[in-house]
């Protein structure tokens, strides 16, 4: 089988969310199926670590696609020609985007439709593209992989899809996260938190991640005698100026650039991971926190209760008071055994196998 793969999101310095999912599952499919040919379509020069085996043919197809007009050009003009040239039997697109101008069967991975619930969080041009094309992508796709049961039900409701067209293949925790010793924690506190214990958020910074309410909840927690700092570890994505000012105004709130600092170096030293997003299709940092032996505080909305199970403290992300209460409860929580059970539900190997089976159309 000749499997063409949309790998434009594989960027070495952006190993979060969608990029992580594509990397972990595609690598496993390549290694598990040496009998198949994989053609990787990049939109810019690629890092050699993303060429997972001798059965991978990397192809760079300009232009770089970081704008709605260029998305349209790449997927509806560049991709169809490449699919024909390389005689692909199937096209796998792990970032939900696809071509409406090809007859090659396409399997897409649907991570979330947050734009449908929070349109105000996106630039107008991006929002218009999503509204115009995401419904069409889901309807035209030969099959859809949803990253959670929540996402499956969400796209069924939004787009009127047949449930049989959708299979769930979860995210899982990236490798390398582990609990730290007390000595290691002290070293991290000294290096990144001015010598103090800390709560941590891991992920990109933009409005849907609810950074403002997280900080407001932390401020309320500190007003009741809390001694910890708050670390925000992630890249600044978009519309972050409001909470950037909040961060700058406080000496107990620290931003660390996620483009240069690996969460594995910091997260396991935290008192708790506080991941209180307004909406997630999955929420990989929840599993990263569990893998690090760190208590997790997360939202009681969208997919996050599904991912957290009984192994996290659930809070109302719209309420700083609820977030404060979650921070207060951490010291009396005992979630380690529940975390070990919950982590067993998620496996990159299993998800890669599910995706591969969907390609056999």
- Is the predicted pLDDT of residue 152 greater than 80, yes or no? yes
φ, ψ of residue 189 to 5 degrees: the values are: -60, -45
What is the structure's pLDDT at 31?
A: 98
pLDDT at 250 (0 to 100): 85
Sign of CA pseudo-dihedral 331, 338, 179, 256: negative
pLDDT tens-digit profile of 238-255?
Answer: 667 777 777 777 889 999
CA separation for the pair 135, 150 (Å, rounded) = 17
**Which range (31-35, 76-80, 209-213) has the least confidence?**
209-213
Most confident of 119-128, 164-173, 236-245: 164-173
CB 274 within 8 Å of CB 200: yes
SS3 107: strand
User: Residue 120 burial by CB count (10 A; 0-12/13-18/19+): exposed, middle or buried?
Assistant: exposed
Q: What span, in angstroms and rounded, lies between the C-alpha atoms of 234 and 266?
A: 12
As a whole-number percent, the residues of the chain with pLDDT over 90 amount to 87
At 294 the pLDDT is 96
Please give the domain boundaries of the chain with CATH numbers for all domains: 2-172+347-359 (3.40.50.2000), 182-343 (3.40.50.2000)
What local confidence, expressed as pLDDT, does residue 258 receive? Answer: 80
If you average pLDDT over every residue of the chain, what do you get?
95
- The predicted model gives 122-151 an average pLDDT of 97
Q: Is residue 356 very low, low, confident or very high in pLDDT (cuts 50, 70, 90)?
A: very high
The band of 88, judged by pLDDT with boundaries at 50, 70 and 90, is very high
Q: Could you give the CA distance from residue 132 to residue 143 in angstroms, rounded to a whole number?
A: 20
pLDDT digits over 284-296, tens only?
A: 999 999 999 999 9
Q: Which two tokens stand for residue 169?
A: 């293949």
How does strand 37-42 pair with strand 253-257? unpaired
DSSP E strands in 203-312: the ranges are 229-234, 253-257, 272-275, 296-299
Residue 13 has pLDDT above 80, yes or no: no
CB 105 within 8 A of CB 16: no
Confidence of residue 330 (pLDDT cuts 50, 70, 90): very high
Of residues 304, 288, 329, the one with CA closest to residue 200? 288
- 3-class state of residue 55 by DSSP: coil
What DSSP letter does each residue of 133-195 carry, written as one string? HHHHHHHH-SEEEESSHHHHHHHHHHHT--GGGEEE----PPTT--PPPHHHHHHHHHHHSTT
- Can you give the pLDDT at residue 16? 77
Q: Out of 13-22, 178-187, 211-220, which region has the weakest mean confidence (pLDDT)?
A: 13-22
Token reading at 12:
């070495």
Percent of the chain that is helix, strand, coil (3-state, to 5): 45, 15, 40
Model pLDDT, residue 260: 86
| 3-class SS of residue 93 | strand
Tell me the C-alpha distance between 152 and 144, whole Å: 9
The arithmetic mean of pLDDT across residues 301-307, rounded, is: 97
Question: Is 80 exceeded by the pLDDT of residue 39?
Answer: yes
Neighbour-count burial for 84-102, b at 16+ CB within 10 Å, e otherwise: eeeebbbbbbbbbbbbeeb
């Amino acid at each position: 089988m000749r499997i063409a793969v949309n790998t434009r999101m594989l960027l070495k310095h952006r190993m979060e969310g969608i990029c992580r999912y594509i990397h972990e599952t595609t690598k496993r499919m390549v290694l598990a199926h040496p009998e198949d040919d994989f053609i990787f379509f990049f939109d810019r020069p690629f890092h050699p670590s993303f060429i997972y085996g001798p059965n991978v043919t990397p192809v760079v197809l300009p232009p770089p696609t970081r704008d709605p007009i260029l998305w349209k050009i790449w997927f509806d003009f560049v991709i169809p020609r490449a699919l024909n040239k390389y005689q692909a039997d199937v096209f796998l697109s792990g970032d939900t985007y696809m071509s409406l101008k090809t007859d090659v069967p396409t399997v897409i991975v649907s991570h979330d439709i947050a734009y449908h619930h929070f349109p105000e969080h996106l630039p107008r041009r991006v929002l218009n593209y999503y509204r115009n094309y995401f419904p069409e992508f889901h309807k035209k796709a030969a099959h859809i992989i949803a990253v959670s049961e929540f996402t499956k039900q969400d796209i069924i409701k939004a787009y009127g899809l047949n449930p049989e067209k959708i299979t769930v293949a979860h995210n899982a925790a990236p490798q390398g996260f582990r609990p730290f010793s007390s000595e290691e924690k002290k070293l991290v506190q000294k290096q990144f938190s001015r010598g103090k214990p800390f709560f941590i958020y891991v992920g990109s910074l933009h409005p849907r991640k609810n950074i403002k309410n997280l900080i407001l909840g932390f401020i309320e927690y500190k007003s009741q005698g809390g001694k910890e700092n708050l670390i925000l570890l992630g890249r600044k994505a978009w519309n972050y100026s409001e909470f950037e000012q909040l961060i700058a105004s406080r000496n107990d709130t620290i931003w660390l650039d996620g483009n240069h600092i690996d969460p594995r170096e910091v997260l396991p030293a935290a008192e708790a991971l506080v991941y209180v997003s307004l909406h997630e299709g999955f929420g990989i940092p929840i599993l990263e926190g569990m893998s690090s032996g760190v208590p997790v505080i997360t939202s009681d909305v969208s997919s996050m209760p599904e991912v957290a199970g009984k192994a996290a403290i659930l809070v109302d992300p719209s309420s700083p008071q609820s977030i404060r209460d979650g921070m207060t409860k951490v010291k009396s929580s005992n979630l380690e055994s529940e975390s070990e059970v919950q982590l067993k539900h998620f496996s990159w190997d299993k998800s890669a196998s599910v995706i591969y089976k969907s390609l056999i159309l």
